């Protein structure tokens, strides 16, 4: 037992040393460290940063503070941990930009603004800076039964969403300043058609222009999902609708035509013909020869 | 060198030819031991195959990257060797090259044995061999696989006919002469001689059929190897995506097939004491033929590797550098040097076109031919265009498992067994054709 704990302690020390050694490998110059996030820690920026984080960082690092990162070697850092957040904005910015080892560089993949938004999002987990988060001017009343109502102006392809919640006094009230996502189902995922600044107004309403050139199915139908982008405050609130406002298309199934890639039944005629004629041609000669062989013994009697 | 000095003075009579050719068919010294050995090897291979059937293809070294491994390389090799039947008895036969007469039957026996086993090797590579007929039931006409199965079956049938038909007069002789043959063999001779008594009418009729088959097997023989190459060339993969794969495979097949024939010729010449029939002249001619086919193959190799090597497209360059300087370099250069360049340099000298040197060179050529197929199939599989993310390390490498190797050894033992049996029950040198060629009159009685 004593041995075991000695070994464990040694291992911990070794790992700690290795970690510190690898941490030292990030060489961040003093000027880079001094950089400050030029964007304020507003709710909107944090929400934007969260979006960027979820598409670019989450696959390896997991959710901040949740410790659900991928089990890679070395283990990806929990970016919401206070150990990580003691670093300056500039340091984090530099690491995102340059990358190291398994951590890819995001210099070209993310623009500066997105990088700073991610940092803003991460700062929202920083215990020392939480106070600095700019609180929104409007405070929505405490509500239950939040729902999204959708009115569609088919002619102008306008989607009018109305976000309301049930106040304690039993009246419905619009929720202001909440970001909504308008998602259209495509072949491999969802297309966000919300556009910039998809926040509800004072009445809890938001009008989004549906793209005029978006193809739908044969009847022009698309599957639309409207949801509150940030699920933290009200949970998962979404509204699903099938709308006939997209451009009707007549998708061609490439398997329907005769082609090299087609099924057996849809093979090009020339290739079926070559095969069948070749087989028939060669094998009829073979059978002819076989038949002729049996004629040999008949010729014997003639001699 | 002293084994052939008296051949020039030998006077041939029909009886002498008959005796010389039929003697080894009745002399079974050492045969049992050889057959027991082959059957033992086949049994061990069969057990390995049973393990593969029971536990699935996971017992092989094949994984997600290399799904065509040793079996397919071996299959291509077997198909290649079988092409010798078409080269010797058909192309040269139609061109009325007369020196091939004593060796054309050996070529046909090799062709039949190797193409039969080639078909079997494909089935051995299948995880679900019980579904083999699905190729014919559901196979797509656009897929080279359907064509390959068709063409191999057809080639096997025509090769067997080209083995049996020219043998009909000889079998009529066997029926009468080999008195010690077991009854079942006598029955076989009786059936397969089709009542042949060498009447002028029969002679003419038979040779017309043989010539028809000789013409027929040329397109089928070309097709079998071209279609096999299309299995590879119809993909976009580096190293396979080339336009000359068809002729490249055909040329390579001529090289491998000729080498196999020379080895078999040497064996029958020594063991069957057929020095008067398979003479130094035949080895000399085969040597010249091999130089010719090797040169053609070398020419295709230069095109196949120099042209993409000059351009070094990004995908090709990974593949080619692995072949030229990487982990495949030894196998690649050994097969090119020992199997092609050095044999050409040696065989242009008359000294090396004697039986024994020819046999030794041929062993190198055929071994190189086998490794060449391995180098064609596996390195390309290791460089997919879309690599798998976080792929386990063992998937990135390939080495055949012991089960795979044992099953492959089985395929060789089986081919040798087929050749052994065929060369014991059938005369390996055509008796009547030699007599015809030497102007000896003969009669075949019923």
Flag whether A46 is in a domain. Answer: yes
CATH code, A114 = 1.10.760.10
Contact B195 A282 (CB under 8 A): no
- In tens, the pLDDT along B100-115 reads 989 999 999 999 999 9
CATH code, A235 = 2.60.40
Architecture field, domain B30-383+395-437: Up-down Bundle (1.20)
Flag whether A293 is in a domain. Answer: no
* Average pLDDT score over chain A: 84
Flag whether A202 is in a domain. Answer: yes
As a residue count, chain B comes to 446
In A236-275, the residues whose Cβ lies within 8 Å of chain B are: 260-264, 267-268, 271-272, 275
Q: Give the Cα separation of B290 and B286 in Å (integer).
A: 6
Residues A119 and A35 in one domain: yes
Q: Give the Cα separation of A293 and B165 in Å (integer).
A: 8
Percent of chain B with pLDDT over 70: 98
* Residue A182: domain span: 143-243
Q: What is the DSSP letter of A214?
A: -
Domain boundary among A132, A163, A184: A132
Handedness of CA B159, B165, B167, B171 (dihedral sign): positive
Residues A147 and A126 in one domain: no
Q: Give the Cα separation of B122 and B118 in Å (integer).
A: 7
Number of structural domains in chain A:
2
Q: Which residue in the block uniquely carries the two structure tokens 């040694």?
A: A10
Contact residues, chain A, for B212 at CB < 8 Å: 285, 288-289
Q: Give the Cα separation of A27 and A95 in Å (integer).
A: 9
- In tens, the pLDDT along A183-237 reads 999 988 889 898 877 888 888 899 999 999 999 988 899 999 999 887 777 888 8
Flag whether A236 is in a domain. Answer: yes
Q: What are phi and psi of A182, to 5 degrees?
A: -105, 110
Q: Which residues 6+ apart lie within 8 Å of A173 measured at CB?
A: A140, A141, A143, A164, A165, A167, A204
Handedness of CA B37, B39, B40, B44 (dihedral sign): positive
Under a CB-based contact definition with an 8 Å cutoff, are residues B329 and B335 in contact?
A: no
Contact residues, chain A, for B195 at CB < 8 Å: 296-297, 300
- When mean pLDDT is compared across A120-124, B165-169, B396-400, B440-444, the lowest value belongs to B440-444
Any CB–CB contact under 8 A between A292 and chain B?
yes
Helices and strands (H, E) in chain B, number of each type: 19, 0
Residues A207 and A119 in one domain: no
Residues A98 and A161 in one domain: no
Using pLDDT thresholds of 50, 70 and 90, give the confidence band for residue B5: very low
Flag whether A296 is in a domain. Answer: no
Contact A267 B220 (CB under 8 A): no
Under a CB-based contact definition with an 8 Å cutoff, are residues B180 and B425 in contact?
A: no
Q: Which residue in the block uniquely carries the two structure tokens 């491999």?
A: A188
Give A9-12's long-range contacts (Cβ < 8 A, gap of 24+). Answer: none
Q: Which residues 6+ apart lie within 8 Å of A298 measured at CB?
A: none
Handedness of CA A5, A9, A12, A14 (dihedral sign): negative
Residues A63 and A161 in one domain: no
- In tens, the pLDDT along B286-330 reads 999 999 999 999 999 999 999 999 999 888 899 999 999 999 999
Using pLDDT thresholds of 50, 70 and 90, give the confidence band for residue A134: low
Chain A residue closest in CA terms to B147: A275
Residues A118 and A187 in one domain: no
Contact B168 A296 (CB under 8 A): yes
Chain A: closest CA distance from residue B39 (Å):
33
Give the start-to-end residue ranges of the domains of chain B. 30-383+395-437
Flag whether A31 is in a domain. Answer: yes
Residues A27 and A120 in one domain: yes
Residues A126 and A35 in one domain: yes
Q: Give the Cα separation of A190 and A58 in Å (integer).
A: 18
How is residue B23 written in tokens?
A: 């003697």
What are A227's strand-pairing partners?
A181, A238
Q: What is the per-residue burial (b if ≥16 Cβ within 10 Å, else e) of B173-190?
A: bbbebbeebeeebeebbe
Q: Give the Cα separation of A154 and A174 in Å (integer).
A: 24
Contact B140 A264 (CB under 8 A): yes
pLDDT at B75 over 90: yes
| B40 CB neighbour count, 10 Å cutoff | 11
Residues A147 and A230 in one domain: yes
Give B406-410's long-range contacts (Cβ < 8 A, gap of 24+). Answer: B406/B44, B406/B45, B406/B47, B406/B48, B407/B45, B407/B48, B407/B49, B407/B52, B407/B71, B407/B124, B408/B70, B408/B71, B408/B74, B409/B41, B409/B44, B409/B45, B410/B41, B410/B42, B410/B44, B410/B45, B410/B46, B410/B48, B410/B49, B410/B124
Chain B: closest CA distance from residue A291 (Å):
10
Q: Give the Cα separation of B117 and B78 in Å (integer).
A: 7
Chain A residue closest in CA terms to B164: A293
Q: Which residues 6+ apart lie within 8 Å of A3 measured at CB?
A: none
For range A116-127, the mean pLDDT: 87
- In tens, the pLDDT along B242-260 reads 999 999 999 999 999 999 9
Q: Which of B138, B146, B195 sits opposite A300 (nearest CB)?
A: B195
């Amino acid at each position: 037992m004593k041995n075991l704990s000695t070994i464990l302690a040694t291992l911990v020390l070794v790992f700690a040393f290795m970690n510190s050694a690898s941490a030292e490998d990030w060489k961040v110059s003093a000027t880079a460290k001094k950089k400050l996030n030029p964007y304020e820690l507003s709710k909107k920026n944090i929400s934007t940063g969260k979006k960027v984080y979820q598409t670019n960082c989450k696959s390896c690092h997991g959710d901040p503070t949740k410790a659900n990162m991928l089990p890679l070697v070395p283990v990806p850092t929990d970016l919401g941990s206070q150990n990580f957040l003691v670093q300056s904005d500039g340091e984090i910015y530099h690491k995102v930009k340059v990358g190291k080892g398994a951590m890819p560089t995001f210099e070209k993949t993310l623009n500066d603004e997105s990088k700073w938004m991610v940092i803003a999002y991460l700062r929202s987990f920083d215990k020392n800076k939480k106070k600095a988060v700019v609180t929104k001017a409007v405070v929505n009343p405490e509500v239950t039964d939040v729902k999204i109502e959708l009115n569609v102006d088919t002619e102008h392809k306008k989607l009018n969403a109305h976000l309301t919640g049930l106040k304690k006094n039993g009246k419905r009230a619009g929720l202001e300043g909440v970001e909504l996502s308008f998602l259209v189902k495509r072949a491999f995922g969802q297309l966000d058609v919300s556009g910039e600044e998809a926040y509800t107004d004072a009445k809890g309403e938001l009008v989004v222009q549906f793209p005029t050139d978006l193809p739908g199915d044969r009847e022009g139908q698309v599957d639309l999902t409207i949801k509150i982008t940030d699920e933290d405050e009200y949970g998962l609130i979404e509204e699903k609708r099938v709308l006939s406002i997209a451009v009707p298309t007549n998708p061609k199934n490439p398997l329907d035509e005769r082609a090299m890639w087609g099924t057996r039944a849809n093979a090009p005629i020339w290739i079926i013909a070559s095969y069948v004629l070749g087989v028939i041609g060669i094998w009829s000669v073979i059978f002819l020869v076989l038949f002729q062989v049996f004629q040999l013994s008949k010729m014997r009697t003639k001699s | 060198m002293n084994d052939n000095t008296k051949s020039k003075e030998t006077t041939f009579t029909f009886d002498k030819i008959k005796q010389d050719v039929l003697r080894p068919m009745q002399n079974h010294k050492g045969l049992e031991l050889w057959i027991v050995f082959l059957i033992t090897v086949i049994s061990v291979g069969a057990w390995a195959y049973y393990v593969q059937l029971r536990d699935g293809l996971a017992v092989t070294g094949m994984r997600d990257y290399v799904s065509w491994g040793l079996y397919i390389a071996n299959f291509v090799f077997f198909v290649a060797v079988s092409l010798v039947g078409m080269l010797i008895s058909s192309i040269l036969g139609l061109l009325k090259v007369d020196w091939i007469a004593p060796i054309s039957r050996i070529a046909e026996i090799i062709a039949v044995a190797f193409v039969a086993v080639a078909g079997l090797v494909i089935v051995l590579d299948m995880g679900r061999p019980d579904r083999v007929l699905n190729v014919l039931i559901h196979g797509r006409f656009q897929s080279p696989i359907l064509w390959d199965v068709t063409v191999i079956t057809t080639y096997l049938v025509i090769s067997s006919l080209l083995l049996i038909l020219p043998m009909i007069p000889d079998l009529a002789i066997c029926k009468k002469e080999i008195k010690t043959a077991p009854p079942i063999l006598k029955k076989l001779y009786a059936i397969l001689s089709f009542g042949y008594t060498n009447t002028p009418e029969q002679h003419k009729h038979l040779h017309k059929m043989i010539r028809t088959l000789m013409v027929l097997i040329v397109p089928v023989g070309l097709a079998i190897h071209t279609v096999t190459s299309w299995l590879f060339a119809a993909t976009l993969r580096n190293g396979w995506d080339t336009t000359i794969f068809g002729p490249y495979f055909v040329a390579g097949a001529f090289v491998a097939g000729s080498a196999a024939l020379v080895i078999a010729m040497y064996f029958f010449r020594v063991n069957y004491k057929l020095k008067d029939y398979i003479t130094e002249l035949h080895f000399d001619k085969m040597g010249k033929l091999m130089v010719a086919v090797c040169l053609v193959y070398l020419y295709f190799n230069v095109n196949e590797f120099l042209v993409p090597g000059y351009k070094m497209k990004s995908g090709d360059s990974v593949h080619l550098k692995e072949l030229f300087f990487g982990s495949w370099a030894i196998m690649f250069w050994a097969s090119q040097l020992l199997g092609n360049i050095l044999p050409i340099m040696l065989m242009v000298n008359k000294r090396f076109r004697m039986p024994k040197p020819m046999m030794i060179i041929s062993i190198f050529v055929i071994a190189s031919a086998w490794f060449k197929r391995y180098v064609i199939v596996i390195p390309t599989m290791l460089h997919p265009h879309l690599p798998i993310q976080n792929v386990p390390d063992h998937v990135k490498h390939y080495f055949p498992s012991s089960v795979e190797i044992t099953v492959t050894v089985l395929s060789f033992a089986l081919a040798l067994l087929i050749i052994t049996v065929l060369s014991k029950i059938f005369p390996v040198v055509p008796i009547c054709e030699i007599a015809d060629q030497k102007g000896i009159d003969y009669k075949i009685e019923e």
